[in-house]
């Protein structure tokens, strides 16, 4: 299999925007009684800017994931989300975030099915032999429903925070229309979709079955996805958390279409699609569990088959309130949360050092720092939030940074020491706790 990872690429040094420096100074005061946590926060909060961000000459921004020299749409958004609330009065952050949004639109205009892109049209690919319609701009072309949701999430959050509209140009509107058309097409994947993906000589979770078409699904109103946020293939191709995210995204895009572009027809089209997705989730995405009651499934095929689990990545079932699909108090969410934090979830692990959610993307027994951060961010009480912060603080293997997964019995055994998304999500959690005054 022709695939490669380049060595760590040095990124141009960015001077930290003043708003970011102010947060670090605030942390120096509020966390001085917890020197290890302070050191971790000082490492992680600016990590995206210090190690993964490049300002390009065309006014856009390129953000690598860390140890892979490509930009994932999903990862790059979550790597900068903790900076968005600081951007209103900081021109440097506006240049970085606004530039990233414009870069997303440039890429989506090239290929709405791709999940990760190169800085230039250099022809680098995760696997040069993937059987799909590739482009020299595309690093990987796994269709993951959540990818473009993240692109729109960043644009919406940035607009609402700064009230700046320069990102909303003709290309942005064209991409929004393409997203709606794409999702309408993938409601009828087998009948209408041109998308196929096959990878040879690889683990089963890295390719699509059925000659690249995927396993059969029934019409539900939901949107088909080839792969999960972990980049692993779906078992059943209606991923519930990703469809929840799409529903929320359509509402947010509808606001942009209404108030910026004044396109009522597009607003109506988005609202209709959102209603179809939500109806499909309520009909096909809820499972009556004998112990936990009504819970959200992770995936379904619309034929009555369900995948009952949660994955550490976002969007996942844990992150439903973070996605703003339902509140923390929602009964079905609470039931689901109890299920995914139990041994009934095949990817929940308990060990001598920690307990939490992992992923089929990493070996059995590995807990993800991102899952612990998300558990803290969606906790309905301060005690659980503080417990997650302490667990994160104690499982960094002495590196001062967050990782991908670590072994539940031995945090010194871990994957991906340079994983910027994990650092950023941890920073969100710690800063939220600082704002609440509980640290």
* Band of pLDDT at residue 13, cut at 50, 70 and 90: confident
For 290, residues 6+ apart whose C-beta sits below 8 A from its C-beta are: none
List phi, psi (to 5°) of 173: -65, -40
pLDDT at 1 exceeding the cut of 50: no
Burial bucket for residue 429 (CB in 10 Å: 0-12, 13-18, 19+):
buried
Q: Are 310 and 242 in contact (CB under 8 A)?
A: no
CATH number of the domain encompassing residue 74: 1.50.10.10
Query: Quick one: what percent of the chain has pLDDT higher than 90?
Result: 95
Inside any domain, residue 347: no
Inside any domain, residue 78: yes
Q: What is the pLDDT of residue 354?
A: 97
Inside any domain, residue 401: no
Q: What is the pLDDT of residues 362-413, one digit of tens each?
A: 999 999 999 999 999 999 999 999 999 999 999 999 999 999 999 999 999 9
Dihedral angle at the C-alpha atoms of 159, 165, 166, 169, nearest 10 degrees? 100
pLDDT at 4 exceeding the cut of 60: no
Q: Are 225 and 231 in contact (CB under 8 A)?
A: no
pLDDT at 323 exceeding the cut of 50: yes
Give CA–CA dist 131/226, Å, rounded.
14
Strands 299-300 and 238-239: antiparallel
Inside any domain, residue 2: yes
Which region holds residue 293: left if phi is over 0, alpha if psi is between -120 and 50, else beta? Answer: left
Please give the average per-residue pLDDT across 264-289, as a whole number.
98
* Boundaries of domain holding 77: 1-6+67-284
Inside any domain, residue 300: no
Inside any domain, residue 131: yes
Please give the average per-residue pLDDT across 316-344, as a whole number.
98
Q: What is the pLDDT of residues 136-190, one digit of tens each?
A: 999 999 999 999 999 999 999 999 999 999 999 999 999 999 999 999 999 999 9
Return the sign of the alpha-carbon dihedral for residues 185, 190, 192, 194. positive
Q: What is the pLDDT of residues 211-259, one digit of tens each?
A: 999 999 999 999 999 999 999 999 999 999 999 999 999 999 999 999 9
Domain count, the chain: 1
Q: What is the pLDDT of residue 10?
A: 53
Give CA–CA dist 272/269, Å, rounded.
5
Question: Is pLDDT larger for residue 2 or for residue 226?
Answer: 226
Inside any domain, residue 90: yes
What is the average pLDDT score of the chain? 96
* Band of pLDDT at residue 3, cut at 50, 70 and 90: very low
Could you tell me the two tokens for 150? Answer: 């993240």
For 240, residues 6+ apart whose C-beta sits below 8 A from its C-beta are: 281, 285, 296, 297, 298, 299, 300, 317
pTM, full prediction? 0.96
Give CA–CA dist 273/265, Å, rounded.
13
- Separation in Å, CA 343 to CA 21, 306, 354, 404, 428: 42, 17, 14, 21, 27
Q: Are 127 and 138 in contact (CB under 8 A)?
A: no
Please give the average per-residue pLDDT across 79-94, as a whole number.
98
pLDDT at 8 exceeding the cut of 80: no
Inside any domain, residue 404: no
Question: Is pLDDT larger for residue 61 or for residue 13?
Answer: 61
Q: What is the pLDDT of residue 7?
A: 38
């Amino acid at each position: 299999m022709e695939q490669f990872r380049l060595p760590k690429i040095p990124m141009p040094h960015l001077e930290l925007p003043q708003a970011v420096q102010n947060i670090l100074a605030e942390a120096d005061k509020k966390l001085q009684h917890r020197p290890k946590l302070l050191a971790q926060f000082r490492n992680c909060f600016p990590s995206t800017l210090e190690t993964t961000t490049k300002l390009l000459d065309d006014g856009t921004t390129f953000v690598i994931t860390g140890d892979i020299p490509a930009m994932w749409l999903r990862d790059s958004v979550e790597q900068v989300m903790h900076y968005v609330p600081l951007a209103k009065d900081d021109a440097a952050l506006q240049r970085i975030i606004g530039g990233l949004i414009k870069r997303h639109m440039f890429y989506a205009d090239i290929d709405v099915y791709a999940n990760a892109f190169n800085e230039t049209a250099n022809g680098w690919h995760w696997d040069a032999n993937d059987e799909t319609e590739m482009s020299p701009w595309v690093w990987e072309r796994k269709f993951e429903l959540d990818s473009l949701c993240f692109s729109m999430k960043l644009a919406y959050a940035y607009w609402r925070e700064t009230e700046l509209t320069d990102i909303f140009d003709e290309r942005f509107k064209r991409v929004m229309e393409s997203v709606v058309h794409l999702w309408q097409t993938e409601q009828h994947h087998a009948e209408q979709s041109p998308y196929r993906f096959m990878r040879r000589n690889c683990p089963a979770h890295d390719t699509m079955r059925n000659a690249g078409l995927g396993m059969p699904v029934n019409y539900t109103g939901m949107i088909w996805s080839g792969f999960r946020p972990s980049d692993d293939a779906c078992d059943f191709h209606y991923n519930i958390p990703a469809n929840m995210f799409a529903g929320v995204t359509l509402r947010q895009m509808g606001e942009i279409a209404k108030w910026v572009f004044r396109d009522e027809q597009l607003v109506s089209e988005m609202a209709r699609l959102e209603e179809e997705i939500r109806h499909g989730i309520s009909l096909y995405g809820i499972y009556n569990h004998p112990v936990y009651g009504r819970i959200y499934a992770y995936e379904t095929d619309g034929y009555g088959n369900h995948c009952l689990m949660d994955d550490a990545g976002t969007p996942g079932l844990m992150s439903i309130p973070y996605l703003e699909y339902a509140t923390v108090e929602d009964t079905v969410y609470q039931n689901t949360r109890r299920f995914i934090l139990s041994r009934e979830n095949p990817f929940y692990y308990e060990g001598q050092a920690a307990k939490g959610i992992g992923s089929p993307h990493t070996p059995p027994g590995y807990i993800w720092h991102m899952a612990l951060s998300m558990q803290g961010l969606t906790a309905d009480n301060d005690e659980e939030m503080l417990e997650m912060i302490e667990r994160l603080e104690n499982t960094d293997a002495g590196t001062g940074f967050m990782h991908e997964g670590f072994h539940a019995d031995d945090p010194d055994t871990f994957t991906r020491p340079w994983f910027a998304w994990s650092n950023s999500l941890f920073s969100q959690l710690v800063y939220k706790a600082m704002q609440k005054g509980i640290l």
